[in-house]
Chain A
Amino acid sequence: AAGVIQSPRHLIKEKRETATLKCYPIPRHDTVYWYQQGPGQDPQFLISFYEKMQSDKGSIPDRFSAQQFSDYHSELNMSSLELGDSALYFCASSLDGGYYEQYFGPGTRLTVL
Protein backbone atom coordinates (compact mmCIF):
# COMPACT_ATOMS: atom_id res chain seq x y z
CA ALA A 1 0.00 0.00 0.00
CA ALA A 2 1.15 3.52 -0.72
CA GLY A 3 2.58 5.43 2.21
CA VAL A 4 3.41 9.03 2.99
CA ILE A 5 6.50 10.18 1.12
CA GLN A 6 8.86 12.80 2.44
CA SER A 7 11.85 14.35 0.79
CA PRO A 8 14.63 14.79 1.38
CA ARG A 9 15.28 12.14 4.00
CA HIS A 10 18.36 13.90 5.30
CA LEU A 11 19.32 17.55 5.08
CA ILE A 12 22.33 19.40 6.40
CA LYS A 13 22.27 23.19 6.51
CA GLU A 14 24.27 26.01 8.01
CA LYS A 15 22.86 28.53 10.49
CA ARG A 16 20.81 31.27 8.86
CA GLU A 17 20.22 29.21 5.72
CA THR A 18 16.81 28.15 4.44
CA ALA A 19 15.34 24.68 3.95
CA THR A 20 12.30 23.27 2.21
CA LEU A 21 10.81 19.96 3.23
CA LYS A 22 8.29 18.20 1.04
CA CYS A 23 5.48 15.80 1.89
CA TYR A 24 3.34 13.70 -0.42
CA PRO A 25 0.32 12.27 1.43
CA ILE A 26 -1.27 8.90 0.88
CA PRO A 27 -3.51 9.09 -2.22
CA ARG A 28 -6.99 10.42 -1.43
CA HIS A 29 -5.91 11.73 1.96
CA ASP A 30 -7.04 15.33 2.26
CA THR A 31 -5.34 16.37 5.49
CA VAL A 32 -1.65 16.87 6.16
CA TYR A 33 0.07 17.49 9.48
CA TRP A 34 3.64 18.53 10.26
CA TYR A 35 5.37 17.46 13.49
CA GLN A 36 8.82 18.22 14.87
CA GLN A 37 10.61 15.68 17.05
CA GLY A 38 13.77 16.66 18.88
CA PRO A 39 16.19 14.05 20.24
CA GLY A 40 14.55 12.02 22.98
CA GLN A 41 11.37 14.06 22.78
CA ASP A 42 7.84 13.36 21.65
CA PRO A 43 6.54 14.75 18.36
CA GLN A 44 5.31 18.34 18.62
CA PHE A 45 2.57 19.53 16.31
CA LEU A 46 3.53 22.39 14.03
CA ILE A 47 0.76 23.00 11.52
CA SER A 48 -1.95 21.22 9.53
CA PHE A 49 -3.88 21.63 6.30
CA TYR A 50 -7.26 20.36 5.22
CA GLU A 51 -8.29 20.67 1.61
CA LYS A 52 -5.43 23.10 0.93
CA MET A 53 -6.42 25.47 3.74
CA GLN A 54 -4.57 25.82 7.02
CA SER A 55 -6.69 24.05 9.61
CA ASP A 56 -4.65 24.42 12.79
CA LYS A 57 -1.41 25.91 14.00
CA GLY A 58 0.75 24.73 16.86
CA SER A 59 4.17 25.69 18.11
CA ILE A 60 5.52 26.73 14.74
CA PRO A 61 8.08 29.55 14.76
CA ASP A 62 7.36 32.63 12.65
CA ARG A 63 10.46 31.73 10.62
CA PHE A 64 8.61 28.70 9.32
CA SER A 65 5.79 28.66 6.82
CA ALA A 66 3.92 25.91 5.05
CA GLN A 67 1.30 25.33 2.45
CA GLN A 68 -0.66 22.58 0.78
CA PHE A 69 -0.89 22.56 -2.98
CA SER A 70 -3.65 21.60 -5.39
CA ASP A 71 -2.28 18.04 -5.66
CA TYR A 72 -2.42 17.85 -1.83
CA HIS A 73 1.32 17.70 -1.35
CA SER A 74 2.67 20.05 1.27
CA GLU A 75 5.89 21.96 1.79
CA LEU A 76 7.40 23.27 5.00
CA ASN A 77 9.67 26.25 4.44
CA MET A 78 12.17 27.09 7.14
CA SER A 79 14.23 30.26 7.07
CA SER A 80 17.00 31.74 9.24
CA LEU A 81 17.76 28.27 10.52
CA GLU A 82 19.02 27.94 14.07
CA LEU A 83 20.93 25.14 15.77
CA GLY A 84 17.80 24.31 17.76
CA ASP A 85 15.91 23.52 14.57
CA SER A 86 17.90 20.30 14.25
CA ALA A 87 15.29 17.57 14.58
CA LEU A 88 13.26 14.95 12.79
CA TYR A 89 10.37 16.47 10.87
CA PHE A 90 7.46 14.18 10.25
CA CYS A 91 4.58 14.65 7.92
CA ALA A 92 1.39 12.70 8.53
CA SER A 93 -1.76 12.39 6.47
CA SER A 94 -5.31 11.29 7.13
CA LEU A 95 -8.76 11.18 5.62
CA ASP A 96 -11.75 13.43 6.17
CA GLY A 97 -10.09 16.30 7.96
CA GLY A 98 -8.43 14.06 10.48
CA TYR A 99 -11.39 11.97 11.57
CA TYR A 100 -9.41 8.84 10.81
CA GLU A 101 -5.99 7.81 12.08
CA GLN A 102 -2.89 9.67 10.95
CA TYR A 103 -0.22 7.85 8.99
CA PHE A 104 3.29 9.16 9.35
CA GLY A 105 5.95 9.51 6.71
CA PRO A 106 9.55 8.35 7.28
CA GLY A 107 10.61 11.84 8.31
CA THR A 108 13.29 14.29 7.26
CA ARG A 109 16.29 14.54 9.54
CA LEU A 110 17.45 18.15 9.52
CA THR A 111 20.86 18.97 10.93
CA VAL A 112 21.81 22.62 11.33
CA LEU A 113 25.52 23.26 11.77
Chain B
Amino acid sequence: GQNIDQPTEMTATEGAIVQINCTYQTSGFNGLFWYQQHAGEAPTFLSYNVLDGLEEKGRFSSFLSRSKGYSYLLLKELQMKDSASYLCAVRDGGFQKLVFGTGTRLLVSP
Protein backbone atom coordinates (compact mmCIF):
# COMPACT_ATOMS: atom_id res chain seq x y z
CA GLY B 1 0.00 0.00 0.00
CA GLN B 2 0.86 3.64 -0.07
CA ASN B 3 1.37 5.63 3.09
CA ILE B 4 2.78 9.15 3.10
CA ASP B 5 2.61 11.15 6.31
CA GLN B 6 3.12 14.83 7.01
CA PRO B 7 2.16 17.06 9.93
CA THR B 8 -1.25 18.56 9.37
CA GLU B 9 -0.42 22.12 10.29
CA MET B 10 2.59 24.21 11.28
CA THR B 11 3.02 27.82 12.28
CA ALA B 12 6.08 30.03 12.00
CA THR B 13 7.10 33.66 12.11
CA GLU B 14 8.12 35.83 9.20
CA GLY B 15 11.90 35.66 8.66
CA ALA B 16 12.26 32.35 10.48
CA ILE B 17 13.20 28.89 9.21
CA VAL B 18 10.75 25.99 9.15
CA GLN B 19 11.25 22.29 8.41
CA ILE B 20 8.36 20.20 7.10
CA ASN B 21 8.87 16.47 7.46
CA CYS B 22 7.52 13.68 5.30
CA THR B 23 7.74 9.94 5.90
CA TYR B 24 6.69 7.41 3.33
CA GLN B 25 6.09 3.72 2.80
CA THR B 26 5.22 3.02 -0.82
CA SER B 27 5.26 0.01 -3.09
CA GLY B 28 7.36 1.82 -5.66
CA PHE B 29 9.78 4.71 -5.44
CA ASN B 30 11.34 6.77 -8.17
CA GLY B 31 11.79 10.15 -6.56
CA LEU B 32 10.16 12.43 -4.01
CA PHE B 33 8.63 15.77 -4.94
CA TRP B 34 7.58 18.83 -2.99
CA TYR B 35 4.78 21.07 -4.20
CA GLN B 36 3.32 24.28 -2.81
CA GLN B 37 -0.40 24.80 -3.09
CA HIS B 38 -2.41 27.90 -2.21
CA ALA B 39 -6.07 27.28 -1.48
CA GLY B 40 -8.06 26.65 -4.65
CA GLU B 41 -5.00 26.88 -6.87
CA ALA B 42 -2.81 24.38 -8.67
CA PRO B 43 0.15 22.72 -6.96
CA THR B 44 3.39 24.45 -7.91
CA PHE B 45 6.57 22.40 -8.24
CA LEU B 46 9.25 23.29 -5.67
CA SER B 47 11.90 20.57 -5.71
CA TYR B 48 12.58 16.90 -6.02
CA ASN B 49 15.07 14.32 -4.78
CA VAL B 50 15.91 11.05 -6.44
CA LEU B 51 19.14 10.30 -4.61
CA ASP B 52 19.93 10.68 -0.92
CA GLY B 53 21.07 14.07 0.22
CA LEU B 54 20.22 17.73 0.13
CA GLU B 55 18.99 19.71 -2.86
CA GLU B 56 19.08 23.49 -2.51
CA LYS B 57 17.05 25.90 -4.56
CA GLY B 58 17.08 29.47 -3.31
CA ARG B 59 15.13 29.76 -0.06
CA PHE B 60 13.96 26.15 -0.37
CA SER B 61 15.97 22.99 0.32
CA SER B 62 14.83 19.40 0.30
CA PHE B 63 16.48 16.36 1.84
CA LEU B 64 15.96 12.68 1.19
CA SER B 65 16.96 9.50 2.99
CA ARG B 66 15.69 6.51 1.02
CA SER B 67 16.78 3.97 3.62
CA LYS B 68 14.71 5.75 6.27
CA GLY B 69 11.79 6.61 3.99
CA TYR B 70 12.15 10.21 5.06
CA SER B 71 12.31 13.63 3.50
CA TYR B 72 12.05 17.20 4.65
CA LEU B 73 11.49 20.56 3.05
CA LEU B 74 13.35 23.47 4.60
CA LEU B 75 12.06 26.98 4.05
CA LYS B 76 14.34 29.85 5.00
CA GLU B 77 13.66 33.57 5.47
CA LEU B 78 9.95 32.94 5.63
CA GLN B 79 7.65 35.43 3.97
CA MET B 80 3.93 35.95 4.44
CA LYS B 81 3.34 34.64 0.92
CA ASP B 82 4.79 31.29 2.00
CA SER B 83 1.55 30.63 3.88
CA ALA B 84 0.21 27.69 1.89
CA SER B 85 -0.10 23.93 1.90
CA TYR B 86 3.03 21.93 1.17
CA LEU B 87 2.54 18.56 -0.46
CA CYS B 88 5.03 15.74 -0.34
CA ALA B 89 4.58 13.33 -3.25
CA VAL B 90 6.29 10.08 -4.14
CA ARG B 91 6.72 9.21 -7.78
CA ASP B 92 5.56 5.67 -8.28
CA GLY B 93 8.26 3.55 -9.81
CA GLY B 94 5.98 2.02 -12.39
CA PHE B 95 4.44 4.69 -14.51
CA GLN B 96 5.54 7.85 -12.82
CA LYS B 97 2.26 8.89 -11.28
CA LEU B 98 2.51 10.95 -8.11
CA VAL B 99 1.14 9.69 -4.83
CA PHE B 100 0.52 12.64 -2.55
CA GLY B 101 0.79 12.92 1.19
CA THR B 102 -1.86 14.56 3.29
CA GLY B 103 -0.23 17.97 2.98
CA THR B 104 1.02 20.40 5.62
CA ARG B 105 -0.70 23.73 6.00
CA LEU B 106 1.88 26.35 6.93
CA LEU B 107 0.77 29.60 8.53
CA VAL B 108 3.32 32.41 8.57
CA SER B 109 2.59 35.22 11.00
CA PRO B 110 4.18 38.69 11.22
Contact = CB atoms under 8 A, between A and B. Distances in A.
Contacts of B97: 33, 45, 48, 56, 58, 98
A103 B96 contact: no
Secondary structure call for the B interface? loop
B40 A104 contact: no
Contacts of B43: 43, 90, 104
Interface string B22-62: 00000000000101000011111100100000000000000
Contacts, number: 59
Question: Nearest 8 CB-CB pairs, A to B?
Answer: A98-B96, A56-B95, A42-B100, A104-B42, A45-B97, A55-B95, A101-B45, A104-B43
Given A43-B100, A45-B99, A56-B94, A101 B42 contact: no
Interface string A93-113: 010011101111111010000
Q: How large is the interface on B (under 10, 10 to 19, 20 to 34, 35 or more residues)?
A: 20 to 34
Interface of B: 33, 35, 40-45, 48, 87, 91-92, 94-103
